[in-house]
Amino acid sequence: MTDDTTLVKRSRYAVAAVFCVHGSVTGSFATRVPWIQEHAGVSAGQLGLALAFPAIGAALMMPLAARITHRFGTRTALRGLLALWTLALILPSLAPGLLTLCAALLIYGGTSGMADVAMNALGIEVEHRLKKSIMSGLHGMWSAGALLGSAVGTVAAHANLSAQVHHTIAAVVLTVVGAVVCQFVLNIHPEEDEEPPARFALPPKSALLIGAVGFCAVFAEGASLDWSAVYLRDVLDSSAGVAAGATTGFALTMAIARITGDAVVDRFGAVRTVRASGVIATLGGLLVVVAPDAVVAMIGFGLIGVGIAVVVPLAFAAAGHTGANASQAIAGVATITYASGLVAPSIIGGIAQASSLTISFIVVTALAAGLAVFARVLATRTEAGEVLR
């Protein structure tokens, strides 16, 4: 029993490291979106169109993650899927035009989505075995990784280093780190008589409402990560270095809020926490919309980060404790929320093309307000029988 407990605790730290690696890829990409846009020679509307393709790739490929895990076991599957995701970081910066950028982002989104489902499902399994909340902390490590990736991206932008060189180096380093840490995650294989999951399956009804709340949060997250730097550059005439710093600040506030999130949820309950989070995110969105300068806008993006930080971890936890088919529910919520984050940048770009980026973030602010309104959906019962208030 002691050996089992040690293995589970070791797996918890390994999965946390996996979340960090995954987030580092996202942060590395987000800070260089202006460079990629300029290199590919695309307008804001065309960039928005291209940024829809990760959502398409994720929607197509995420349902396959459970089947891959069933076939190869959790450790081998996660190692392979994570490597595909880290190496996919190289592709967008190589694209010379719109069509190649769309193709690169299709692969980028597909690999990201499969790795995301696999690591969240494993995180829920570890949480079940530890019998305590860890999902907010795991997602905090994702945000810490995004912070690390965006910080390096900010330095690279200040140094005028091309995204091609920056992303190639980052991809190699993160692939090696990911392969090493995956050696220490739980290696779970299905029973011999266990039927493999369907290649494609609709999310169960229990996941739809939970996923809708996650949708609001992840939409704001995707919009802020991919458009905060562009917003400061185009709307507030900030330099490339200052603009990239907005993404770093957003990732920093999310990391801090998520790392401390488990304690906050234990103290106040999921519903109260999400209601307060919605108010904070709405305030942040309003500051971005009315910001007269870069400082106010960066504060606004920081508040959005604080407000949405714990929502997605709580959505995954709620799905994992529904009492129905947990893995299917997790995959369903992951598909809804992750697709939201990937489609958000394209919607933001489309609105910006038709009107302005300011109008785009009015939409983000409205969705943030929805978190406070629909927080009750996350009032589910945990495995230990305690109600998340």
Q: Residue 10 above 80 pLDDT?
A: yes
Which of 41-45, 79-83, 123-127 is predicted most confidently?
79-83
φ/ψ (deg, to 5) at 84: -60, -40
Residues 329 and 67: their CA atoms lie apart, in Å, by: 14
Tokens for 124, please give them: 């829920």
pLDDT reported for residue 381 = 44
What SS3 class is residue 381? strand
Q: Who wins on pLDDT, 107 or 131? A: 107
Q: Residue 385 above 70 pLDDT?
A: no
pLDDT reported for residue 359 = 93
Residue type, 298: M
Residues 277 and 300: their CA atoms lie apart, in Å, by: 14
Q: pLDDT tens, 317-332?
A: 887 666 545 556 776 7
> Confidence band (pLDDT; 50, 70, 90) for 19?
very high
**Surface-to-core class of residue 5, CB atoms within 10 Å of its CB (0-12 exposed, 13-18 middle, 19+ buried):** exposed
Tokens for 83, please give them: 């490597």
Q: Residue 218 above 50 pLDDT?
A: yes
Range with the poorest average pLDDT among 126-135, 145-154, 297-306: 126-135
CB 19 within 8 A of CB 138: yes
b/e sequence 33-69, b meaning 16+ C-beta within 10 Å: bbbbbebbebebebbbbbbbbbbbbbbebbbbbbbbb
CB 244 within 8 A of CB 232: no
pLDDT reported for residue 158 = 87
Q: Residue 278 above 80 pLDDT?
A: yes
Residues 382 and 341: their CA atoms lie apart, in Å, by: 26
Contacts of 258-261 spanning 24+ positions with Cβ under 8 A? 258/136, 258/137, 258/139, 258/140, 258/141, 258/142, 258/143, 258/309, 258/310, 258/313, 259/136, 259/137, 259/140, 259/141, 259/143, 259/144, 260/140, 261/136, 261/137, 261/139, 261/140, 261/309, 261/310, 261/313
Q: Give the number of residues written for the chain.
A: 389
pLDDT reported for residue 274 = 92
> Confidence band (pLDDT; 50, 70, 90) for 199?
low
> Confidence band (pLDDT; 50, 70, 90) for 29?
very high
> Confidence band (pLDDT; 50, 70, 90) for 270?
confident
pLDDT reported for residue 1 = 43
Average pLDDT, the chain: 85
- What one-character-per-residue DSSP string does 316-334 give? HHHHHTSSS-HHHHHHHHH
The percentage of the chain sitting over the pLDDT mark of 90, rounded to a whole number, equals 39
Separation in Å, CA 126 to CA 71, 272, 304, 310, 350 = 20, 25, 29, 18, 40
pLDDT reported for residue 260 = 87
Mean pLDDT of 83-105: 96
CB 257 within 8 A of CB 333: no
pLDDT reported for residue 256 = 87
Give the number of other CB atoms < 10 A from CB of residue 4.
9
Q: pLDDT tens, 201-214?
A: 566 666 788 888 98
Which of 35-39, 52-56, 172-176 is predicted most confidently?
172-176
Please name which of 281, 259, 232 lies closest in space to residue 145, comparing C-alpha atoms: 259
